[in-house]
Amino acid sequence: MYAPTDRTRLRRLPERGSYDRQAVHAILDEGFLCHVGFVLDDGRPCVIPTGYARAGETLYLHGSTGSRLGLRPGMDVCVGVTLLDGIVLARSAFHHSMNYRSVVVFGRARRVSDPREKEEALGALVEHIVPGRGADVRPGDRKELASTAVLAVPLDEVSAKVRRGDPVDEEEDYDLPVWAGVLPLEPTPGAPVPDPRLDPAVPLPAYVTGWRRARSAAGE
């Protein structure tokens, strides 16, 4: 269990919250796109989407040396990962909702400077998004590693929030002749589109044709 803090304690609908490590890890491992919030020099907030990967109790964020995310050696961030599982259609407008599994991580982002850690983190980023891919590709060279910023955020101040299941209506609304239920949603891969410059003799790997995010037990 992660210890709840002032920032991770849920103000609203606390029954949807969880500090369970396994539940948090499962959500982080299923997603691969996060939204990173940080504070600009003028004191105002900024949110940037980027890719991430988890390694143990560290979250590695992909940045770039030219981007705002890569600029500073260390800064407070808040990382949000949200898996949208469905639209919840209730009989009243008010009780419409979404089914989702989300994680929020608060922490100080450390800029990864050790070349070996950076190389491993970048490998993890590729491998996390497409498991099996890492072994096939040309690894980053020194110049590429230098022009990529990787931030490491410790998984320490963390919470998960989950809503699943049927709509919950006001008791007197259940008799309304209005369809109610859940429309499930899942990010679904289409047919792979080969690069026009790809040699047709190169086979399509099984990790592409079979790509699917592992839906963890927490998501059932």
106 forms part of the interface with its own copies (CB under 8 A):
yes
- Provide the token pair at 77: 């961030």
User: Site for its own copies (CB under 8 A): which residue of 1, 74, 76, 115?
Assistant: 76
* Residue 83: CB minimum distance to its own copies, A: 10
Cα distances (Å, whole numbers) of residue 156 to 7, 126, 178, 204: 12, 24, 44, 39
38 forms part of the interface with its own copies (CB under 8 A):
yes
Q: Contacts with its own copies in 111-130 (CB under 8 A)?
A: 122-123, 125-126, 129-130
72 forms part of the interface with its own copies (CB under 8 A):
no
142 forms part of the interface with its own copies (CB under 8 A):
no
Contact, 28 vs 160, CB < 8 A?
no
φ/ψ of 125, rounded to 5, equals -60, -45
Start-to-end CA span in the chain (Å): 20
Three-state secondary structure call for residue 67 = coil
* Residue 56: CB minimum distance to its own copies, A: 21
Binding mask 162-201 for its own copies (x = CB under 8 A): ----xx-----xxxxxxxxxxxxxxxxxxxxxxxxxxx-x
Q: Which stretch binds its own copies (CB under 8 A): 19-27, 37-45, 52-60, 110-118?
A: 37-45
User: Site for its own copies (CB under 8 A): which residue of 26, 53, 61, 78?
Assistant: 78
206 forms part of the interface with its own copies (CB under 8 A):
no
146 forms part of the interface with its own copies (CB under 8 A):
no
φ/ψ of 144, rounded to 5, equals -65, -40
Contact, 28 vs 54, CB < 8 A?
yes
CB atoms within 10 A of CB 131: 14
Contact, 151 vs 4, CB < 8 A?
no
73 forms part of the interface with its own copies (CB under 8 A):
no
84 forms part of the interface with its own copies (CB under 8 A):
yes
Contact, 216 vs 29, CB < 8 A?
yes
24 forms part of the interface with its own copies (CB under 8 A):
no
* Residue 57: CB minimum distance to its own copies, A: 20
- Provide the token pair at 32: 């691969």
User: Site for its own copies (CB under 8 A): which residue of 102, 117, 131, 215?
Assistant: 102
